[in-house]
Structure 1
Amino acid sequence: MSDAAVGDARQQGPQQGAQPQFGRWMGSMWLYTALRFGLFFVLWGILLLVGLEALFAALVALVLSVPLSFVLLAKPRRAFTAQLEARVDAQRRRRADLDQQLDPEGHETDRD
């Protein structure tokens, strides 16, 4: 596969029929986590430069980083949740296929 095709596939995100990949899911999770920590540390550093004490600056940075992450990190969060949803949907499809194989006529059993 050419580099352009790989880049196009990455931009499209998870596809309906494609199997989700563990590496992509973990990559998107770690990217979002690193960006959240980065946002906190940048805010903390700025507040330290302004002259706040370290502990107070950390608390203020924590309070500020939460709403800012909703706005500034919306795209990485969407990518992470899309990967997570693809994994859950794939698991549900596998479960439905297995249920169909085990009970092709669709009899409901009493599970109580």
Structure 2
Amino acid sequence: MSHDFAAQKAETYAVWDEIAEAADLPDVADIDYAFVPVEGADWDGAEAALSEAGFETARLDDEDGRPYLAARLPDQPATAMAVWLGEEASTRMLLPLGFQPDGWGFEG
């Protein structure tokens, strides 16, 4: 089954619009992306690919103790386009390595 990037992009822009309507947003933010592993995921390969592309990475557990890979792009423009460009790039890198996108957030 192929990944639906058009649906992912539409969801990202819709969520961004909801956030922007409810709050004053910073001009610059650290954008965080979460990726969940599937069986056989290549954690080391994923971290290496992300690091090569300028992402900071961390292996974390969610509130239920399930592991996920966090990828951060520091000091990015706080825009829907910036979120999407990082999300698309990281998703394209990680799908072949056994990770599925599982959301994003930002600090700024």
TM-score range, shorter chain: under 0.3
Which protein has greater RCO, CA pairs closer than 8 Å, 6+ apart?
A: 2
TM-score by length of 2: 0.26
TM-score by length of 1: 0.25
Structure (1/2) with the larger helix percentage: 1
Larger radius of gyration: 1
